[in-house]
Chains A and B, each alone.
Chain A
Amino acid sequence: MIIVRLAELIMKPNLLSEVSGKGLHDHLGFDGKIVLSTIMPDELIDEFQTEDYLRLVGDLRPDATMVPDNYTYMDDPLYLSWSQTIRLVRNALSFLELDIPAIGLIKGATPEQVGWSTKQLLEMGYVTFALPARELSRSELLDNVLAPALLVFEKCQVSPNLMIYGRSYPVRGLKKASYANHSWFLGAKGGTYFKGGFQYDITDPSIRFERCNCGSCKGRMAQDLTGDTQALALHNLLGLNNESGGSG
């Protein structure tokens, strides 16, 4: 399964028009599952209405899509973040019209916003959720959003599919989740070698002479992958997959 970012297409109108004509599968020449990510910069979020999103999803024809993104900052006035939270729920309701699965977003500036919006989506029938985690992880605020959501799942006695989006290393204590990111590729471009949940410079003496038997390395030492970005990227991806219990 791959994830395509809607933002990338929106920022390149020519590309968007080309892909809209063919659909994502034909444009990419890819038969597997394609999920459309709606995570995008704030200034793009403001430009689109619900109908615009629905039309784009119809044109691009992914296999599944996230509901439209919003922005909820903890240092914004509560009125703003609540408006955005309500907007997310409204959009999620509209996305039920689609004939492809929709993925709910776990967002909110306060535990109440996170809890309320997650509960609304559960009651609508959403069974898969994505938690955009990159900014939150960097700011060490991920727990502030994850914990209220997990509490709602527990209270409702459900265990939906959870995707941690934009983070490569596992969340401690989170037993069942999948991880969506492209750090495995970006890391490979920069000579980063993934091992045991950590990222190493490929020249790190603690790993560079170790042999790896994954499908990419096939017995090679870490440093033998120097310059072979493709092999290194595949090694990293396989490593991430192992670390996340095969659900990455």
Chain B
Amino acid sequence: MGAGSRVRQFNHRFYQGEPSLSDAMESCNEGGESIAAFGECQISSGADGYELVKGGRIVGIFEEACIESERAVFKLSTGMLLEVTGSGIREIFTKAKAGLHGLTASDGSLYNGPPGSRTYRICFESESPELTDLYSQYFEAVYDRQMHQYPDRGYPRVVVGNKMAFYDLKNYGAKTGLYTWNVPRAYLDREGAAEWLKCFFSGDGTVKLVCAGKDYDIAFDSTCREGLEQIQVLLLDEFGIRSTLKPRPREARPGRRPGYNLRVRDEVEFAEEIGSYKKEHIERLEKILKKKGRR
């Protein structure tokens, strides 16, 4: 530590200017007007912004804050927020970052090659142009960088090479291996969870209107069983939506990997709470809601 530029290192370590949550912070003796308190944390507003104090020590001073009845949320950078509740402090994703993560987990890829050859490449492609547009939009909102459009064999595709964004998405588990990803549960509040699910479903979800014996079927498909299990838990814990995970039986051809299907059992609740960005899904989900008299 401790070489080069102090400003640059501070930016790199502490989210581009926001203070760290290290305990080695000076004690707080004075402050502005106290506007909220959650557990051990107090929030006051002053000339410099919003001051967050915990246990008598300043945690940070923030330009932007949103104070709600059960929590306060401070804006950090690269799509992160600091959430303060009675239970404590944690970092969570913004809606855009949650969506970006979900889309990356479904149809995105993170690739790194030697210098000069697609280094730190983030790529998203889909059969649906509305999803690549959304990905681009979210990427710009989170990382303040534009992606480039490079359609490939008729598939809309957006690509960018950016080391910081590459490692940020990778470290949060958007792609942990060739076919594996994690749901970033620890960084999702309810809004973030809904957005993550909506975006992942838009990529790797299906809404069928013709299925065995029933009128419709909503499901997630993936070769990553652990990821689908995490989705199953998230759907139930956060939204009370039940689901059933089953393997996809398939012919044992040489070279074929197992796949899994997570079928949603509370379809109406899913259509209302989660939904999708994919055009075909939206039309079919509307039909489901109409059938159930919810439209």
- Tell me whether A73 is interfacial, beta carbon within 8 Å: yes
Q: Of the 9-residue stretches A51-59, A131-139, A171-179, A233-241, which lies at the interface with chain B? A: A131-139
Flag if A191 contacts B2 (CB, 8 Å). no
- Tell me whether A141 is interfacial, beta carbon within 8 Å: yes
* Chain B residues near A191 (CB-CB < 8 A): 177-178
Flag if A201 contacts B1 (CB, 8 Å). no
- Tell me whether A204 is interfacial, beta carbon within 8 Å: yes
Flag if A47 contacts B178 (CB, 8 Å). no
Flag if A204 contacts B113 (CB, 8 Å). yes
- Tell me whether A71 is interfacial, beta carbon within 8 Å: yes
Q: Mark A33-44, 1 if CB is under 8 A from B, else 0.
A: 000000111111
Flag if A73 contacts B177 (CB, 8 Å). no
Flag if A139 contacts B8 (CB, 8 Å). yes
Q: Which of A69, A141, A201 contacts B112 (CB 8 A)?
A: A201
Minimal beta-carbon separation of A30 from chain B (angstroms): 26
Q: Which of A41, A44, A76, A145 contacts B6 (CB 8 A)?
A: A76
Minimal beta-carbon separation of B18 from chain A (angstroms): 15
Q: Of the 9-residue stretches A18-26, A192-200, A212-220, which lies at the interface with chain B? A: A192-200
Cα-based distance from A43 to B113 in the complex (angstroms): 35
Flag if B112 contacts A192 (CB, 8 Å). yes
- Tell me whether B42 is interfacial, beta carbon within 8 Å: no
* Chain B residues near A39 (CB-CB < 8 A): 1
Flag if A135 contacts B9 (CB, 8 Å). yes
* Chain B residues near A206 (CB-CB < 8 A): 113, 117
Flag if B1 contacts A40 (CB, 8 Å). yes
Q: Mark A126-157, 1 if CB is under 8 A from B, else 0.
A: 00000010011011010001000000000000
Minimal beta-carbon separation of B120 from chain A (angstroms): 10
Flag if B5 contacts A75 (CB, 8 Å). yes
Q: Mark B120-164, 1 if CB is under 8 A from A, else 0.
A: 000000000000000000000000000000000000000000000
Quick one: which of B3, B13, B178 has the most chain A CB within 10 A?
A: B3
* Chain A residues near B8 (CB-CB < 8 A): 139
Minimal beta-carbon separation of B104 from chain A (angstroms): 15
Flag if A71 contacts B114 (CB, 8 Å). no
The count of A-to-B residue pairs whose CB atoms sit within 8 angstroms is 84
Minimal beta-carbon separation of B73 from chain A (angstroms): 26
- Tell me whether B24 is interfacial, beta carbon within 8 Å: yes
- Tell me whether A203 is interfacial, beta carbon within 8 Å: yes
Flag if B3 contacts A107 (CB, 8 Å). yes
Cα-based distance from A200 to B4 in the complex (angstroms): 28
* Chain B residues near A136 (CB-CB < 8 A): 3-4
Cα-based distance from A136 to B1 in the complex (angstroms): 10
Known interface pairs A43-B22, A43-B24, A191-B178; A135-B113 also in contact (CB < 8 Å): no
Flag if A139 contacts B5 (CB, 8 Å). yes
* Chain B residues near A181 (CB-CB < 8 A): none
Q: Which of A76, A190, A227 contacts B170 (CB 8 A)?
A: A190
* Chain B residues near A204 (CB-CB < 8 A): 111, 113-114, 117
Cα-based distance from A191 to B111 in the complex (angstroms): 9
* Chain B residues near A91 (CB-CB < 8 A): none
Known interface pairs A200-B114, A201-B113; A74-B2 also in contact (CB < 8 Å): no
Known interface pairs A203-B178, A227-B177; A42-B1 also in contact (CB < 8 Å): yes
Flag if B115 contacts A198 (CB, 8 Å). yes
- Tell me whether B7 is interfacial, beta carbon within 8 Å: yes
Minimal beta-carbon separation of B165 from chain A (angstroms): 15
* Chain A residues near B9 (CB-CB < 8 A): 73, 135
Flag if A73 contacts B6 (CB, 8 Å). yes
* Chain A residues near B7 (CB-CB < 8 A): 75
* Chain A residues near B1 (CB-CB < 8 A): 39-42, 45, 69, 71, 132, 135
- Tell me whether A72 is interfacial, beta carbon within 8 Å: yes
Cα-based distance from A173 to B8 in the complex (angstroms): 27
User: Which chain B residue shows the least CB distance to A192?
Assistant: B112
- Tell me whether A226 is interfacial, beta carbon within 8 Å: yes
Cα-based distance from A132 to B3 in the complex (angstroms): 8
Known interface pairs A191-B178, A201-B112; A74-B24 also in contact (CB < 8 Å): no
Flag if B170 contacts A141 (CB, 8 Å). no
Cα-based distance from A53 to B114 in the complex (angstroms): 40
* Chain B residues near A43 (CB-CB < 8 A): 20, 22, 24
Flag if A73 contacts B170 (CB, 8 Å). no
Minimal beta-carbon separation of A68 from chain B (angstroms): 11
Cα-based distance from A192 to B2 in the complex (angstroms): 28
User: Which chain B residue shows the least CB distance to A70?
Assistant: B2
Q: Which of B3, B113, B115, B170 contacts A71 (CB 8 A)?
A: B3
* Contacts A/B (CB < 8 Å), 15 sampled: A43-B22, A69-B2, A72-B3, A73-B4, A107-B3, A132-B1, A132-B2, A136-B4, A139-B8, A141-B4, A190-B112, A201-B111, A204-B111, A226-B177, A226-B178
**Apart from A40-B1, A206-B113, 9 more pairs, CB < 8 Å:** A45-B2, A73-B3, A75-B7, A138-B12, A141-B3, A141-B4, A145-B3, A203-B111, A203-B178
Q: Which A positions have Cβ atoms within 8 angstroms of B?
A: 39-47, 69-76, 84, 107, 132, 135-136, 138-139, 141, 145, 190-192, 198-201, 203-204, 206, 226-227
